[in-house]
């Protein structure tokens, strides 16, 4: 579904971090990804949402385009010296990057507020295993990694040295030396 040939070092796209005050307050990290079919990428999300609501529901053509790949982060903060759990969730339409408001009922109900938005650059990638990327916005200019652990779970960690290999970063975390 994702066009992994385009998700390479140097790829640039939009990002947004939204604070979601739902049944369990959390952050939603969303990165723009290229897809072969927008309609297939958004099928999971569309099936959980009412046809008419306050959220953007852009037409989902069956053609290549871009979507927001999303991760829910239970602890509503950015990673600092410790990695945070980030669970992959359904993809969202690119228009969702500007959404703030209240989802009145159903799946995901609650208030959504933008915490940070801007662009990102993919620095390193091992498709669907790890992504190292630099966020660039008014509020944050830093490098992070998403490292897949099992199932839909990833670790979201701040990376001090972009040139460091992910395995050495994980060893430092395990040893308690990462800050």
Distance between CA atoms of residues 84 and 8, nearest Å: 24
40 pLDDT higher than 90: no
- pTM value is 0.82
| pLDDT score at 59 | 58
How confident is the model over 103-109, as a mean pLDDT? 74
178 pLDDT higher than 60: no
Cβ neighbour number for residue 158 with a 10 Å cutoff: 18
153 and 129 Cβ atoms separated by less than 8 Å: no
How confident is the model over 124-149, as a mean pLDDT? 93
What are 41-98's pLDDT values in tens digits?
Answer: 777 655 555 555 544 455 556 788 899 999 999 877 788 778 999 999 989 888 889 9
Which residue from 67, 65, 46 is spatially nearest to 57, judged by alpha carbons?
46
Distance between CA atoms of residues 11 and 100, nearest Å: 27
177 — pLDDT class (breaks 50, 70, 90): very low
Distance between CA atoms of residues 132 and 124, nearest Å: 5
Cβ neighbour number for residue 100 with a 10 Å cutoff: 10
Hey, is 110 helix, strand or coil?
strand
CA distances in angstroms from 2 to 34, 35, 112, 145, 151, listed in the order given? 6, 4, 26, 18, 17
What are 114-128's pLDDT values in tens digits?
Answer: 999 999 999 999 988
CA distances in angstroms from 172 to 20, 77, 125, 151, 161, listed in the order given? 31, 21, 20, 23, 12
Q: Which residues make beta-bridge pairs with 147? A: 130, 155
Distance between CA atoms of residues 21 and 23, nearest Å: 7
22 pLDDT higher than 50: yes
Fill in the DSSP letter of residue 127: T
């Amino acid at each position: 579904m994702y066009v992994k040939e385009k998700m390479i070092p140097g790829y640039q796209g939009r990002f947004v971090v939204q604070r979601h005050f739902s049944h369990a307050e959390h952050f939603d990290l969303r990165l723009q990804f290229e897809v072969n079919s927008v309609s297939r990428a958004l099928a999971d999300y569309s099936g959980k949402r009412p046809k008419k609501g306050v959220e953007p529901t852009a037409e989902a053509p069956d053609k290549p385009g871009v979507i927001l790949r999303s991760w829910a982060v239970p602890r509503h903060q950015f990673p600092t010296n410790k990695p945070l759990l980030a669970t992959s969730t359904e993809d969202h339409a690119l228009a969702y990057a500007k959404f703030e408001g209240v989802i009145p009922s159903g799946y995901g109900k609650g208030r959504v507020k933008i915490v940070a938005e801007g662009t990102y650059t993919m620095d390193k990638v091992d498709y669907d295993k790890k992504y190292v990327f630099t966020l660039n916005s008014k509020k944050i200019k830093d490098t992070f990694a998403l490292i897949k652990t099992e199932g839909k779970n990833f670790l979201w960690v701040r990376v001090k040295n972009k040139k460091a290999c992910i395995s050495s970063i994980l060893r430092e975390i395990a040893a308690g030396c990462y800050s």
